[in-house]
Copies of this chain bind each other. A is one copy, B any other.
Amino acid sequence: MPLQTRIEAAISSAIRGAQTAPAPGRLAAALNYAVTPGGARIRPTILLSVAMACGDRDPLMADRAAAALEIMHCASLVHDDLPAFDDADMRRGKPSVHRAFSEPLAVLTGDSLIVLAFETIARGPGTDPARALELVLTLAKRTGMPLGICAGQGWESESSVDLSAYHLAKTGALFMAATEMGAVAGGQDAEPWAELGARIGEAFQVADDLRDALMDEASLGKPAGQDDLHGRPNAVTQLGVEGATARLRDILAGAIASIPSCPGEAALAQMVRKTADRIIPEAAQHLGHRSSVPGE
């Protein structure tokens, strides 16, 4: 079964479990609205890829872990969009949850999805309790305080910021959860897989900087460096487009080098390479190869 099919089926199954009657209908609808249609489902795809590289010893557990991780990611998007944070009207091409439903329902949707993420790991027949418990712990660590995405968001309320802790928590945490949970679901230790997740997270951050910069160039007149809030260093501001692209390729090479020895090592490296092709903006695809002579 293709990964995307496994992921969507696992998410649907988890959401259905939260909607058995009698349930308040609008909140039930909001849960569904918040998780479908999804974005690229990058985190669960990485999780399943790692689980498969480790031997995919317990595919049902891996599917539940993947659904749990994506559900947690969706919860964070719903709360990030709230008026108290980004006050975003749109998300994935449709109105944000608080716009489509209401602010109380958006708070409750996020809360319910956080709970559902843990429930999804713990529920299900044939669960190995020790492995499921480690998945619960790993997801909690990468979501809460002091190392998870809640901490990452929390740093933005500080006057003095520990930048490396901030970046790791804000953009790295759920990618680290992806590789660690994939390893655990696949029957391996989590710890050796943390670096791969951290590097993929870093790569996505540089790719975002590149996309912002290249789109600014295209759409003209948008003030440069506007993402540079909260002291966030921007790879393009620091290194230029070509330098940032080279940096992105370096990070991904490091990611591939960090893959622990496992049965599906080669296929996993291939997946990371494919991810690179997908996240490097088209306008920068020809740039940043170490072997190439700097152009222009």
Q: Give the interface of A toward B (CB within 8 A).
A: 18-28, 31, 79, 82, 84-85, 101-105, 107-108, 110-112, 114-116, 118-119, 121-123, 127, 129-130, 132-133, 136-137, 140-141, 143-146, 148, 150-151, 153-158, 162, 165
Contact = CB atoms under 8 A, between A and B. Distances in A.
A1 B82 CA distance: 44
Determine how many copies of this chain the complex contains: 2
Contacts of A84: 102-104, 107
A28 B104 CA distance: 25
A236 to B, nearest CB: 27
A108 B18 contact: no
A97 to B, nearest CB: 12
Contact of A130 (B22, B101, B129): B129
A187 to B, nearest CB: 15
A50 to B, nearest CB: 21
B107 A28 contact: no
A145 B114 contact: no
Nearest to A25: B158
Given A104-B85, A114-B114, A28 B140 contact: no
A234 B111 CA distance: 28
28 contacts: A18-B144, A18-B145, A20-B146, A23-B154, A23-B165, A24-B146, A24-B155, A28-B146, A28-B154, A82-B107, A84-B103, A101-B157, A102-B157, A108-B150, A111-B114, A111-B150, A112-B145, A112-B151, A115-B140, A115-B145, A115-B150, A116-B144, A118-B118, A118-B140, A122-B137, A129-B129, A129-B130, A133-B136
A123 B150 contact: no
A2 B212 CA distance: 58
Contacts of A132: 129, 133
A10 B152 CA distance: 26
Contacts of A79: 107, 111
A116 B145 contact: yes
Contact of A22 (B23, B118, B144, B165): B165
A154 to B, nearest CB: 3
A123 B103 contact: no
Give 3 closest A-B pairs by Cβ, nearest first.
A23-B146, A27-B154, A115-B144
A133 B127 contact: yes
A246 B168 CA distance: 58
A62 to B, nearest CB: 17
Given A28-B146, A85-B104, A111-B150, 16 more contacts: A23-B145, A23-B146, A23-B151, A24-B155, A27-B150, A84-B102, A84-B107, A110-B111, A112-B144, A115-B144, A116-B140, A118-B118, A118-B136, A121-B136, A122-B133, A133-B136
